[in-house]
Structure 1
Amino acid sequence: MTTRQLRLVLEVDDVDAAVAFYRQALGLPEADAYEAEGGARVAILPIETATLELANPAQIEFIDRVEVGRPVAHPFPGRVRIAFEVTDAVAAAIDLEAAGATPVAPPTRTPWNSLNARAEAPDGMQVTVFQELDDTVGRHHERAGAGTEPGAGSGPDGAAA
């Protein structure tokens, strides 16, 4: 078996508003959309690559302290948030706010040498945008707090997405 795609499904009250937010804030195109009986709707916004990051509560709290400076209340079950790698975290943070997000923390340099900013989307989802500042191969294993085998550590932003 080969896994070919990761889909993170967010339940939102207003699909149009959510599509507009993620399109405006992060440039995600709408690839497909479906409607069904009873007003059921879904929009699919593709991203070139995705990772599944599994982090324990201590790692989540560590990331909160690094990005935000304090623990953060996570309103979604399982403490889910979305993280997007961007080429310019400062501009992305500005774009998130312009699209209606509430800033949670400004761009902050992390111990793993990325620039991370956190915002809360209009739907309440915690969104991290991160910019890698070091393209060194193998940085996952070497950065502070990874503590795992290469390829098994937390992703570039340390997020559990």
Structure 2
Amino acid sequence: RDRAKGFVLLATSVFCDAVVPNVQQRLMAPGGPPGLPRKASDPPPEEDARGTAPGLTASQLMVNANAVGFLGLFATMAVSGSFDEILRATSSDPKLVVYLSSVGMSLSLAVLAYTNLIRECGPVIAVGTATLRKVVTVLLSYAIFPKQIETVHIVGGLLVLAGIVLSTYGRR
């Protein structure tokens, strides 16, 4: 049962990793977010040299996405009762707030960099770069915190490498 749940979560994550950068690119593309309703009192968007309204900036996209995520997380925590646990934990150890804030700021910078990469280079390059970053993170984890390397780790690494090679040569 846990294995099936893990598989569903992993498949969902992979699906989102493929969809989200493409949606973000469209939101940041010239012409702006498609279907964005405008009130008559709104000033017309500034246009570029081609007469096209600019899309969202990377920081605007990040703020909007994180605001929606925050509201969803806040509601989930309030309904599940885990919000009370967090308040108790942070009041008993004030350093926890500093640590959590540091992690939040670091993640914000990482997301902003990733969103800018999507805007400048496109979603395919951004996803490829993020995948390589994760591979380097895993390799550093094994180098800094030595652990047993098993056959499944080697096979998994080779499959990732094969996927990158096939993706690269498949476009040519």
Q: Same fold (TM over 0.5)?
A: no
Normalising by structure 2, report the TM-score: 0.21
Write 1 or 2 for the structure with the bigger share of helix. Answer: 2
Normalising by structure 1, report the TM-score: 0.22
Write 1 or 2 for the structure with the bigger share of strand. Answer: 1
Q: Specify the structure having the higher radius of gyration (Cα).
A: 2
